Structure 1
Amino acid sequence: MKICGFQKTTLLDYPGHVAATIFLGLCNFRCPFCHNAELLTEDAEEQCTMDEVLDVLKRRASLLEGVCITGGEPTLSPDLEILIRRIRELGLLVKLDTNGYRPDVVKRLCSEGLLDYIAMDIKSSPENYGMVAGVPNINTDTISESISFVRSCGVPYEFRTTAVKGLHTEEDFEAIGRWLQGAERYFIQNYVESDRVLFPGFSGFRREELLAFADIVRPYVGEVCLRGVDY
């Protein structure tokens, strides 16, 4: 396991909870707008060890309610289950961020009762998934499998899409809505411009455009919200 970042306190990453965030290296996607591009490959720099992170969490356990494990793609880390078990031994909740491309890992963690919240990225419509995820021959059946499981597993969850101008259209959000039909909640978060992404030059949408996307998805999903946008 390669821990490439550690945020001791966040009020944003785990909805409704004071949490810490652990960033794990490696990802099987290459989203061109990725804000954590430095974490994607084997060259990602390790910032701290598991024991070092756990020592900090132990000292701060009375201040924290949970831990968000993100990446990169956490399900690629072979010691993920060990990390989660040790976090839970401290009495902390665990939120997992995932792209859903390894449903077997998510299923195993849930069957062991190790997850308290799942946030699954929905990169785009099935038709355009490979382009947006940077994996041309992507198997969207695995994404569908994860969607179906997360929707019914009993663990609180959210689906979410980062909206990027030039990559997402109204038609994409219509298709996403149909794909997620029956889901409890879905967030659309606007892309924030940065020179540190994998391929700089993208931009986000205007508030009115994001609201229109939300209206398109709303008939299919129980709760649809914008994240990082003032209403």
Structure 2
Amino acid sequence: METEPSPIPDEAEMHIGGLLKYSLIDYPPHISCVIFTAGCNFRCPYCHNPELAVTGADTRHLSRNHVMDFLATRKKYLDGAVISGGEPTLHPDLAGFCADLKSMGFLVKLDTNGSRPEVIRELVKNSLVDYLAMDIKTDPELYNQYIAVQADAAALRSSVQIIIESGLAHEFRTTCVHPLITRETLKSIAELVAGADLHAFQHVQNKNVLDPSFFDEQGRVSSDDDMEAFQTLMAGYVKKVIIR
């Protein structure tokens, strides 16, 4: 992933913390690049992009012009661009950035934590995204306990409904880690995402994470049997379920 040191941009500019120039797995079946925004309002202990989640004086920055210049040279080779994070919806210029990508002919996929439904609604309304992917960490009522004290369960639920009703291709993703994901919490999640196109269960990694001490307690990582049971439970609620 490419980064370059630079002063933190002002609040009106997209803060891009990194660029993966080529990916076959982030927006299948399309060939894409991944643009990583810096800064997140959640603090998932197992976050595998800690350098993007928590920003500071040493946070790296790619200028918007640098990214656009790169994309201009890749129009023949890339189908789309994935905007990930961090949390992209925190950036005031996200809509303008998506509009620029669309004007260049790229499909746009947004990865979001769902905390800002009003931003998702704007992007959908103005046809600025082609694919939406939202992470669901646990039962929305438990986010304050595990993810962020200021998390708004109603906002998360609203984002889910906006995405399902958008008419756009979409997916929800859940990283399988105890005690956030259990058969009990998953029942609440399944009811929340009922009718969705796709739900993906993801293995957790316990290296280079935001809070390594989280894994000091045994039993955090879901077993293969757990994940297969989660897949079976979810299958009755959404159109397709996969394990990544």
**Residue 126 (structure 2) aligns with:** 112
Q: How does 1:6-25 map to 2 (within 5 A)?
A: 6-25=19-38
**2-structure distance, mates of 1:18, 1:83:** 19
Match of 1:170 among 178, 183, 191: 183
**1-structure distance, mates of 2:138, 2:99:** 32
- Aligned residue type for 1:149: I
**Is contact 2:46–2:205 with CA below 8 Å preserved after alignment?**
no
Question: Alignment partner of 1:60: what SS?
Answer: coil
- Aligned residue type for 1:100: G
Asked if residue 53 in structure 1 is aligned to residue 67 in structure 2, the reply is yes
Deviation >3 Å, runs of 4+: none
**Residue 222 (structure 2) aligns with:** 205
TM-score normalised to structure 2 length: 0.88
Identity of aligned residues (%): 39
Match of 1:138 among 151, 157, 160: 151
Question: Alignment partner of 1:205: what SS?
Answer: coil
**2-structure distance, mates of 1:127, 1:103:** 17
**Is contact 2:52–2:85 with CA below 8 Å preserved after alignment?**
yes
For the aligned residue pairs, the C-alpha RMSD in angstroms reads 1.4
**Residue 233 (structure 2) aligns with:** 216
Residue 179 of structure 1: CA displacement?
1.3
**1-structure distance, mates of 2:146, 2:92:** 26
**Is contact 2:137–2:180 with CA below 8 Å preserved after alignment?**
no
Question: Alignment partner of 2:48: what SS?
Answer: coil
Unmatched segments (≥5 aa) in structure 1: none
- Aligned residue type for 2:228: L
**1-structure distance, mates of 2:146, 2:194:** 21
**1-structure distance, mates of 2:112, 2:82:** 11
Unmatched segments (≥5 aa) in structure 2: 1-13
TM-score normalised to structure 1 length: 0.93
**1-structure distance, mates of 2:75, 2:202:** 30
**Is contact 1:2–1:46 with CA below 8 Å preserved after alignment?**
no
- Aligned residue type for 1:119: A
**Is contact 1:25–1:71 with CA below 8 Å preserved after alignment?**
yes
Residue 137 of structure 1: CA displacement?
4.3
Q: How does 1:41-190 map to 2 (within 5 A)?
A: 41-43=54-56, 45-133=59-147, 135-190=148-203
**2-structure distance, mates of 1:193, 1:29:** 18
Question: Alignment partner of 2:66: what SS?
Answer: helix
Question: Alignment partner of 1:145: what SS?
Answer: helix
